[in-house]
Structure formats: structure tokens, C-alpha cells
Structure 1
């Protein structure tokens, strides 16, 4: 009888932990959304007005925006054009399509797209950065 009670208690404890984990995941998703919105607002400001001086724990940082280029492969469009499912378009599946002459390596290049994403960069401010900002009247 005691063994059965311990099993139910452990099951209840695990259930509680599972629910806490799920709640934390929801909170993390909400925080990520807030962070993304605020970061986007900072990026827009920097693009309009130039680099910004910000402080973190009384340490000056220069905030800048950099463009990050990434290449993406549009598997869904290739699947539509060749009549296969997206799940079949792993590297082996794509090689088989080329071997079967359903597509060529030159044709595959049209499914590769470059995307430029603006990202926020922060670096510690140097003395020269602070002097430049003072001379322009920005601080």
C-alpha cells in the first residue's frame, strides 16, 4: 500500500513539474517576442539617426546595425516544380532528382535566394568614440 502511495505522489510531482516547464516555455516565447519588437525599434532608430551610445552597468557601448547575408534553399518550390514531397528533398533526394534528369545543378541555383537581415551589434565604446560623440554634440 505504501508503495502505491509513493508512485502516485511521484506522478503528481512530475505532472506539476511538466506544467511548470510548459508555463516557462510560454513565458519565454512572450519574452522573445518583446525582445524582437524592441530590437527592431532600436534598429530603425539607428538606421535613421546613426550609431547610438548606450550604457549597460555604467559601461558605455556603441550600438550599430550590420547586415547579415544568408542563403536559403526553397525546397517547397522545388517540390512543387518536380512533383515530389518536401520530406524527400534531403541531399540524397536532390541528388537522385539530378541523376534522373528531373532537374540539373544549374536549375537548382534558381531555388537559392540570398536574404539580408539587419542585426544589432553592441561593442564597448572607446575613448575616441566618446570624444567624437562629444564633438558632434550627440552626448
Structure 2
């Protein structure tokens, strides 16, 4: 049975790939966006002397994306954060990709992150007797975002 047109638009799971390492247990990705500056040019029109404002595209802006996953024994997030905190930016600054998978595990879309590095790692609230899943949030800053 063929999938309907919009069945493929549903992201079932998300992953992060950095340096060939795939982390597929991502439950939430937020802040993924492409943005650029806007330059305003203010001038008088030659014909009637009216004041006009033109807007033209400027430089692309860097961004940040947040990855949330359930707490596991996988230490890939922690190692990457340690490299950047100790100033090993040659090792910490990497190219990576956010991958969206369908329900069968087939990649639907990739968003390539250029020269990204981890800004912070946050462990969810630790509360005795709580039955909710512990999470960790990794905030990654990137210089450029390219959809594939």
C-alpha cells in the first residue's frame, strides 16, 4: 500500500550525526532555523523626491538548536561538551546534521550544521519519587544551516 502524500511529512523520530556518530534517540529538536540580516537602504526617489526604504538581504546569521533525549549511558554528549569547555575547539567544532526519520526508520530530510559545537548540556530535574523520564538537553550553536 502506497503512502499518502502527507504521511511522509510526519517525523517519527530524530537523530543527530556528528563525525560519523549517529545518535538516534533524540525525542525533541527545537530552534532549527535559517535566518539572515536585513539591510535597509533609505533614499529619496529621483522622480518625485519621496523618501523610500528598500530592504535587501544581508549576511546569514548563526543559530542554536536544542536536542532533548532520555538519559542513557551514552556519553557522546558529555565528551563533546568537555572538549569545548576545555578549549579544544579544534576537536569540538564539527560539521553535523539533524536527520528526520519516518516510522520505518528511513531518513526523510537532513539539515546540515556547519562548524557546530556544544554550548551547554542540561540534565532534567532530579526529583525523588518522580516517575517521569530523566532527560538531557544539549544546546548546539552553529555557523551555517543547509537543508539537503
Relative to the length of structure 2, the TM-score reads: 0.25
Q: Which has the larger helix fraction?
A: 1
Of structures 1 and 2, the larger Rg is shown by 1
Relative to the length of structure 1, the TM-score reads: 0.26
Q: Which has the larger strand fraction?
A: 2
